[in-house]
Structure 1
Amino acid sequence: MMIRIAIIASALVAGGVSAAPGDLVDKVPIAGAPAGAQAWRIRYRSQDEAGRAITVSGAIVVPRGRPARERDIVVWAHGASGVAESCGLSDKPGLFAQIAGLDALLAAGHVVVAPDYQGLGNPGPHPFLVGTAGARSVIDAARAARAMPQARASARYAVFGESLGGFSALWTAAEAARAPELTLVGVAAAAPPTDLKSNLGGGSNALVRAFLTAYTASSWEQVYDLPLTSAVKPRTATLIRNLAKNCVSLDGFKLRTKIGMVRLAGQLRNVDLAANPGWGRIMARNSVPAARLNVPVFVYQGGKDEIVAPAVTRAFVRRLCRTTAVRSVTSPAGDHVSAGKAAAPDAVAWIGDRFAGKLLPSDCARL
């Protein structure tokens, strides 16, 4: 009888019945965690942009030993890995290496949780560059850490993300009131897209811009029921859907994918998605609302970034300074690919200071 009850209870949680955002569905140990730490792949409950129940996967890394007090949480929000279900990172080799500043965060005694985001590692679609959806995956990852006894996690959290993850970190600041039981002490964003009309139309690398357009357009076609053919020709729409099946890997793209990127760059040469009323509205809707961010913010931007234009980030930081304190770090020679790792030393120290309640620095006066 007890076995039957346990099976029924498990099925109810897995099916989303009476499950709250942040509830753990399951956890499986992961081998190869950094020295002095242990890790699990987790699945937890969340909600999509429309409020429907979903399951999100991710990883959680916890220092070994019993802490003197509850551990503060840092959510690592990764950059773009793709939009296909197979593009989740928590079940891939190299998981720990891609979390910028992981060793330093663990040495500081923090719990580190790294969500895959909705639709990556679990059934999609993946809402790429959809602000509220990314924020919900992040916030509910912090809740999931709290729900895991081994983590002994506090109610305080910070977010550190790069590129797409920086975008999600900033949106988390805008949506933090969704979890009133948690305290967000600050967010750190490395090379974040912020103004999507400018970001998707800018950048100096046409091939990368074409691939990001493929990810965004393929995702939004599914999430918002917005036909690609409302903005591009049918043959371009087919190429976009095919390219969007590919994941970003540490080894780069296959030759066939690179050839597709060249073709798409050519086909998009005279296409301005932002000029299309339907697509332009979605870009505006998902651009980071600077006026809604009222927690401390750290922003890193590389001067040689070919994907997120430095000028767009500078303009966003100036707007952000009207509402909150901003620590702005720039690297004149910095690129996009290494943004998270380059930002990590300063970002991790800044996060530690926020948890410690130290004097809040701001660079707004010089910007």
Structure 2
Amino acid sequence: MYCRVKRPGWMLSLCLNSLFAFTVSAQAGDDLPTSLPEARAMEAQDALPVTAFYTAPAAGDITPGKLIRQEPGTDYVLPSGIKAWRILYHSLDAARHDVTTSAFVLIPEGTPPKGGWPVVAWAHGTSGVAQPCAPSRMKDLYYGDEGLFEFPKAGLAVVATDYHGLATPGPHQYMNKLAQAYDVIYSVRAVREAFPGLSHDWVVDGHSQGGMASWSVAEMEQQIDDPHYRGAVSVSGTVDMLDFIRPAPAEGGAPFYLPMVAFGLRARYPEYKPQSMLNHAGMAHYNEIATSGCWFTGYAALYGKTENQITKSNWTRNLAVQAMLWENAIGNQSVRGPLLVITGGGDTSVPPGGVRSTARKACNNGIRLAFRFYPGLDHDPTMTNSVKDQISWIKARLADEPFQSDCGHF
């Protein structure tokens, strides 16, 4: 049996046994690391070896979405009925520079429907900012035990970008809606080249960091106008960045993400200095988080710390931080296709108030969306407990069923 509990607030763990059944677990705090040695050991247990597969080519066609190489993913822990691959492809960073990005692909076994398996472009939540933190380099694919396997079991192929800088060379532009959206969009082009038998119809679905990315994809598709794009799902998305990095005291918050935010700021704006945000306590384990540690390491490194204990005063007034907030604004631009926005009432990592207010702002700006609120659920349980609803909504979009907006009713 393979079981894991990953992040704070996780009340249900998914255990991979012969039935891949849902089972009730203890409080997350009992399963998360409280020391760095424990965190490192947990990450090492799930890690796959570094291989030359992720090495960027020295030359060649750098068209965004161009497939570089592919290989079977025979080293993952998968339920029966699913085959996995890895792909490497060209993408763009936030400034539209060429970058090499990796992804994994999940395809149902069996006979595909006429036209091929429809595609879900998956955008994952925070795994870390260092190269080892790519989901395709994890045995469980990071979200395998949070409902991701339910998509191929439901007859949907999945292409899941790592985001550039995770596994591949160069810094990961963490929490940048443009960079992450490009990686998602071009993963779809690459997977079509790798597996031409797949359907051209696709949707995007993302959680947390990926929830921002999926909404950003919907914005970009307004200009791209891909006729095969059918809609977007944003689950617990960081669509209100200020509320994510500076939540109100009553909202909780997760300050251990802040060193990763500082890393992302430097990746996007090279002149930015993490010391502009982080004080001595905040910088104590920054280098490890930036180069080798992943989510568990970040959590354990700042376990029990508050934002005030690890940051300098007025750090959000920095010009680079203000530029990040402006660039990552969500809900102002028109989107193409239907949009489903999901949040949990007990989410202490991405406060539901910010998600709701962003959705209302979008409605006021003429964006039609469906809004789903799951009372009492924290960050990861919202993802897991809404998977069936996500799949049902996605299949309705692929079937061209009428879309009903909830604007004015939440």
Q: What secondary structure sits across from 2:118 in the alignment?
A: strand
Letter of the 1:286 counterpart: N
Q: Any idea what SS the aligned residue of 1:321 has?
A: helix
Alignment of structure 1 residues 106-117 onto 2, 5 Å: 106-117=152-163
Once the two structures are superposed, the pairs formed by residues 144-293 of structure 1 within 5 Å of their partners are 144-149=190-195, 152-177=197-222, 179-181=224-226, 183-202=228-247, 209-225=254-270, 226-233=272-279, 236-237=282-283, 239-245=285-291, 246-248=293-295, 252-253=296-297, 258-262=300-304, 265-268=307-310, 271-293=313-335
Q: Contact 1:300 / 1:328 at 8 angstroms: preserved in 2?
A: yes
Give the whole-Å Cα distance in 2 for the aligned partners of 1:294 and 1:180: 7
Q: Which amino acid aligns with 2:294?
A: C
Separation in 1, partners of 2:314, 2:389: 37
Instruction: Read off the aligned partner of 2:300 and give its amino acid letter.
Output: K
- What residue in structure 2 maps to residue 316 of structure 1? 358
1:127–1:205 distance in 2 versus 1, CA, 3 Å: farther
Query: Is residue 338 of structure 1 aligned with residue 384 of structure 2?
Result: no
Of residues 128-137 and 103-112 in structure 1, the stretch that sits farther from structure 2 once superposed is 103-112
> Which residue is 2:30 aligned to?
none
Q: Does 1:27 align with 2:73?
A: no
Report the TM-score, using the length of structure 2 for normalisation: 0.78
Aligned to 2:399: 356
* 2:87 paired residue number: 42
Which shows bigger deviation, 346-355 or 260-269? Answer: 260-269
Aligned AA (2:324): I
Q: Which of 82, 96, 103 is matched with 1:58 structurally?
A: 103
Work out the CA distance in 2 between the residues paired with 1:172 and 1:100.
Answer: 22
Identity of aligned residues (%): 26
Q: Structure 1: how far apart are the matches of 2:141 and 2:277?
A: 36
Distance 1:53 1:17 in 2: 12
Rounded to whole Å, the distance in 2 between the matches of 1:88 and 1:15 is 22
CA distance in 2, matches of 1:242, 1:148: 35
Query: How far does residue 75 in structure 1 lie from its aligned partner after superposition?
Result: 0.9
Corresponding position of 2:369? 326
Residue 92 of structure 1 and its aligned partner are, at CA, apart by 1.0
Asked whether the 8 Å contact 1:101–1:348 carries over to 2, the reply is no
Contact 1:163–1:192 under 8 Å retained in 2? yes
Cα distance, 1:205 vs structure 2: 8.9
- Alignment check: 8 A CA contact 1:203 1:309 kept: no
Distance change >3 Å, CA 203–CA 157, structure 1 → 2: farther
In terms of fraction of residues, the more helix-rich structure is: 1
Partners of 1:276 and 1:53 in 2: how far apart? Answer: 28
Residue 282 of structure 1, CA deviation: 1.7
Deviation larger for 320-329 or 262-271: 262-271
Give distance in 1, aligned partners of 2:256 and 2:297: 11
Q: CA offsets per residue over residues 78-114 of structure 1, 9 Å max, x none?
A: 1100000110011211117537544442244322111
RMSD: 2.7
Equivalent position SS for 1:364: coil
- Check 1:97–1:243 CA distance in 2 against 1; reply closer, same or farther (3 A cut): closer
- For 1:298, the equivalent position in structure 2 comes to 340
Q: Distance in 1 between matches of 2:61 and 2:319?
A: 40
Counterpart CA distance in 2 for 1:131 and 1:60 is 22
What is the TM-score with the length of structure 1 in the denominator? 0.86
Distance (Å, rounded) in 2 between the aligned partners of 1:274 and 1:345 = 38
Q: Which runs of 5+ in 2 are unaligned?
A: 1-55
| Displacement of 1:197 | 1.6
How many residues end up aligned between the 2 structures? 350
Distance 2:408 2:306 in 1: 43
Amino acid corresponding to residue 328 of structure 1 in structure 2: F
For residues 96 and 208 of structure 1, do their structure 2 counterparts lie closer, same or farther at Cα, with a shift above 3 Å needed?
closer
Question: Mean Cα displacement is larger for which, 204-213 or 47-56?
Answer: 204-213
State the 1:267 CA deviation. Answer: 3.0
What SS class does the counterpart of residue 175 from structure 2 fall into?
Answer: coil
Deviations 1:117-138 (A, max 9, x none): 1101111200111111000000
- Give 1:58's aligned amino acid: A
Question: How has the CA–CA distance of structure 1 residues 51 and 291 changed in structure 2, closer, same or farther, with 3 Å as cutoff?
Answer: closer
- Identify which range, 118-127 or 273-282, moves more after superposition: 273-282
* 3-state SS of 1:188 partner: strand
- Mapped partners of 1:97, 1:128: distance in 2: 18
- Say whether 1:85 aligns with 2:131: yes
Query: Are 2:222 and 2:334, in contact at CA under 8 Å, matched by a contact in 1?
Result: no
AA in 2 matched with 1:359? P
Q: For structure 1, list consecutive stretches of 5 or more residues without a partner in the other structure.
A: 1-12
Residues 211, 178 of structure 1: alpha-carbon distance in 2 compared, 3 angstrom cutoff: farther
Per-residue CA deviation, residues 111-170 of structure 1 (Å, 9 max, x unaligned), is 211111110111120011111100000001111121123x51222211111101111111
Name whichever of 263-272 and 30-39 sits farther off.
263-272
Q: Distance in 1 between matches of 2:239 and 2:343?
A: 12
Structure 2 counterpart SS, 1:358: coil
Q: Contact (CA 8 Å) 1:139, 1:179: kept in 2 or not? A: no
